[in-house]
Structure 1
Amino acid sequence: MSTAIRPGEPNYVDPHSDSYVDEGAGPAWRRSATPAAEPAATERELTLDRVRLHIPDTYRSPRKRPAQLADALDFWMFAGAAANVAMQFAHQGVAAGVMESPVESGALMVHPWKRLRTTSAYLAVAVLGTDEDKSAMREAVNVAHRQVRSRPDSKVKYNAFDRNLQMYVAAAIYIGFEDTHQLLCGKMTADELEAFYQGSDTFGTTLQVHPDMWPKTRAEFDEYWLEACKGVVCDDEFRAYIDDLLHLRMVHWAVRLPFGSLLQFLTAGFLPPHFREQMAIDWSAADQRRFENLFLFVGFVNRFIPKFIRFWGTNAMMRDVRTRIKKHRALI
C-alpha cells in the first residue's frame, strides 16, 4: 500500500521529511494463517453484540431497491449525532486529540453550532460530493489537522494525520449511518447490508485513509470494528468531558430546557452496550424497549414526509459547500 505525496499532504514514507507522520499501530483485525495467541479474559468478553447497536427484527414493507448510503442522509440521521461523536471520542487517541486540540475555532464545546455545520458539510461531501468537492474538503480538514498532535506531556501519543485514528473515526461514522437507517427503515438482510456498505470507504478516503485500509466486505468490517473497539477505554477525565456533551452544556440553557431530556435519551440509546459501560451510562431493558418503540413510530411517520423535506438539510449543505468553494471561503 502506498500513498501519493502531494504538496501540503502528510508523508507516511520518508521519516526524514518535515511532514512525516509516525503512525501508531492499527488494530490487527485481518485473519492470519498463523494461530493467534489466546486472548485475555477481557478481550474474550468483547463480542460483536456489545460493540454494535441492537436492531430489532421489526416488520417493514419490502424495499423497492437495495438501500444506499445516500438514503441515510435523512434529517433523522442527526438523532444519533451526539452518540456518534461520543463513540468517536471514546477511542483514547481520538479523545486525547480532541481534548488537547489547540484549534479552538472547531472545538465542539466552544463552537457547537459551527462544529455541527462543518461535520454536516463533511458528511454531505463524502457521500454526495464530486472528486473536486472532496479534494477541497480534504485540504480544509488538513489545515486544522496539521496543528493537532501530542505534546511531550500528553498521556497518549496521537497525530490527527494518523490514518489508523482516522480509520476508526470513519468507521464510527459509517456505523451511525447504518444504524440510523435500519432503525428508520427496518433491519436489512445480509445482502442488503453488503450493498449498503459498498462505497462507505468514502468516509475515510475523504481524509487520509488509503482505500486499501478499508475492509472490502461488510463481514470484514465487523472484524475490524470488534478489534478496534479494544481501544475504547474511558477514564474519569474523558467521562467528565462526555458528561458535558450528553447534558448539552455547550449550548444555551434555553435549548437544553425543552430538548435536553430527549437528546440525552437518544444519545444513550444510540450507544452500543460496551460504550455505555465505558461511559458509565445507565440503560435498562425498559429504556431499550422505549427506544425501539420510539423509532418504530418515527419510522412509520417518516414514510409520509415528502422526500424533499427529509433531505432538504443535506442538499442545502451541499449548495453551501459549493458556494464556499466558488467564492474561496473557508469550509471549516
Structure 2
Amino acid sequence: MTRAAAQPSGEPALTLDQTRIPIPGVHRPDGKRSPKLEDALDFWQFSGAAANVAMQMARPGVGHGVADSKVESGALMVHPWKRLRTTSSYLAVAILGTPEEKAAFRDAVNVAHRQVKSEPGAPVAYNAFDRNLQLWVAACLYVGFEDSYQLLNGKMNPEQAQAFYSTAAPLGTTLQVTAEMWPRTRADFDEYWLRACEQVAADEKVRAFVDDLLHLRMIHWSLRIVFGGLLRFLTAGYLPPYFREQLGVQWSAADQRRFEHLFRFVGFVNRFIPRFVRDAGTRSMMADVRRRMRRHRQLL
C-alpha cells in the first residue's frame, strides 16, 4: 500500500507503508460469511494493547492528556489493572453492547473526561471532549483490531476489509464521535488515517511515558521479569515504522521476521482453539458491565 496523503506544505507525504504494519499471507475465510469486527475478539488481540496506547499518545493532545491526567483512579501508571478493565469494558460495550448499555457507559466515561483538560498556558492544549481527538483514539483502536485480526488470519482483500470495517463505527460513536465524522468506507478511512498521522509528533514527555509503559514500570518487578521482554517485542512489532521513529523504538529486519513467524505459528494454533475460549475475556467484561448496571454500581 503506497497511497499518499496530500501535504500542502510540500513536505514528503506519509504513506500507508509508513503508517501501517505489513501483513503477510492471504486471509483464511472462517466459513462463507464476511468478516466483522466481532471476529477480532480474540485474546491475542490484547497483545497489541500497549502499542495501541503508544500510537494514541503519539498525537500530542492525547499524549499530554494521558500523561497529565488528574484522574488518578483511572491512571494507567497508578492503577494499571483497573485501567485495563475499563478499556476492555469499553471495547466490549462498543462491539457487543445494546444502545442502552452504550449510553450508560458513555455517561460514565463523560464523568471522568470532564476532569481531563489542559491548564491555561499549557504547552499542549487538550480536552478529553475534543471529538477530533476522540476520533483519533477510535481510529487507533480500529487499526489495532484490524492488525491483530489479519496477523492471525491473513491479509483481507478489499471486499473483506470493507465488510470488517462496516461494523467498526461504534468504536467512536459510543463516545462523542458522530456518525458523520466516522469515515464512510474503508478507503475513506485510509485517507483520514494518512491525514491524521501527519499530526503525530511525540515529544520527550510522551516518549518518557511510553518508555515506562514498555518497560512495565507500573507493575510489580516480578511480572516485569517474566513478561517484560515479550511485551516490548510485541509492542515494537505492532508499531508502524513512522510511530517507531517518533517514539524512538528500535526494530530490525530480523525482528520483523521473528514477529511474522510468531504470528504464523499463533495463527495456526488458534484454528484449533474454540471460539468461546478465544473471546471469553471480552465476553466476561461485557457480563461484568451488565452485572454492574443491574446492581447500580459504578461502571469505571
Superposition TM-score, scaled by structure 2 size: 0.96
Which of 322, 326, 331 is the aligned partner of 2:290? 322
Q: 1:195 to 1:111 in 2, by over 3 A?
A: same
Are positions 1:40 and 2:13 aligned together?
no
Are positions 1:131 and 2:134 aligned together?
no
User: Counterpart of 1:205?
Assistant: 173
Alignment of 1:292-311 (within 5 A): 292-311=260-279
Are positions 1:156 and 2:114 aligned together?
no
Partner Cα separation in structure 2 for residue 87 and residue 219 of structure 1 = 21
SS in 2 for 1:211: coil
User: Counterpart of 2:215?
Assistant: 247
User: Counterpart of 2:153?
Assistant: 185
Q: 1:327 to 1:37 in 2, by over 3 A?
A: closer
Q: Is the 8 A contact 2:153 2:267 kept in 1?
A: yes
- One-letter identity of the residue aligned with 1:79: S
Are positions 1:143 and 2:111 aligned together?
yes
Partner Cα separation in structure 1 for residue 287 and residue 96 of structure 2 = 11
Q: Is the 8 A contact 2:34 2:160 kept in 1?
A: yes
Are positions 1:71 and 2:35 aligned together?
no
Q: Number of aligned pairs?
A: 295
SS in 1 for 2:167: coil
Partner Cα separation in structure 1 for residue 133 and residue 271 of structure 2 = 37
Partner Cα separation in structure 1 for residue 211 and residue 97 of structure 2 = 34
Are positions 1:85 and 2:53 aligned together?
yes
Partner Cα separation in structure 2 for residue 149 and residue 59 of structure 1 = 44
User: Counterpart of 1:3?
Assistant: none
Which of 22, 26, 29 is the aligned partner of 1:54? 22
Deviation at 1:273, TM superposition (A): 0.3
Instruction: State the 4+ residue runs in structure 1 displaced beyond 4 angstroms.
Output: none
User: Counterpart of 2:62?
Assistant: 94
Q: 1:37 to 1:278 in 2, by over 3 A?
A: closer
Deviations 1:178-234 (Å, cap 9, x if unpaired)? 000000011100000000000211011111001000000000000001000111101
RMSD: 1.3
Which of 229, 232, 238 is the aligned partner of 2:200? 232
User: Counterpart of 2:162?
Assistant: 194
Q: 1:132 to 1:307 in 2, by over 3 A?
A: same
Deviation at 1:171, TM superposition (A): 0.4
Partner Cα separation in structure 2 for residue 228 and residue 280 of structure 1 = 20
User: Counterpart of 1:290?
Assistant: 258
Superposition TM-score, scaled by structure 1 size: 0.87
Partner Cα separation in structure 2 for residue 190 and residue 128 of structure 1 = 25
Partner Cα separation in structure 2 for residue 244 and residue 37 of structure 1 = 33
Partner Cα separation in structure 2 for residue 106 and residue 249 of structure 1 = 16
Partner Cα separation in structure 2 for residue 54 and residue 94 of structure 1 = 25
SS in 1 for 2:53: helix
Q: 1:47 to 1:61 in 2, by over 3 A?
A: closer
Deviations 1:72-106 (Å, cap 9, x if unpaired)? 01111000000001111110000111111110100
SS in 2 for 1:231: coil
Partner Cα separation in structure 1 for residue 44 and residue 268 of structure 2 = 13
Deviation at 1:177, TM superposition (A): 0.4
Are positions 1:256 and 2:224 aligned together?
yes
Q: 1:328 to 1:159 in 2, by over 3 A?
A: same
User: Counterpart of 2:81?
Assistant: 113
Deviation at 1:248, TM superposition (A): 0.6
Which of 202, 211, 215 is the aligned partner of 2:183? 215
Partner Cα separation in structure 2 for residue 178 and residue 96 of structure 1 = 26
- One-letter identity of the residue aligned with 1:229: C
Q: Is the 8 A contact 2:292 2:299 kept in 1?
A: yes
User: Counterpart of 1:26?
Assistant: none
Identity across matched positions, percent: 63
- One-letter identity of the residue aligned with 2:149: H
Deviations 1:13-67 (Å, cap 9, x if unpaired)? xxxxxxxxxxxxxxxxxx9xxxx774332xx2411110111111x2454442211
- One-letter identity of the residue aligned with 1:327: R
Uncovered stretches (5+) of structure 2, i.e. residues with no partner:
none
Deviation at 1:153, TM superposition (A): 3.0
Q: Is the 8 A contact 2:27 2:156 kept in 1?
A: no
Partner Cα separation in structure 2 for residue 76 and residue 121 of structure 1 = 16
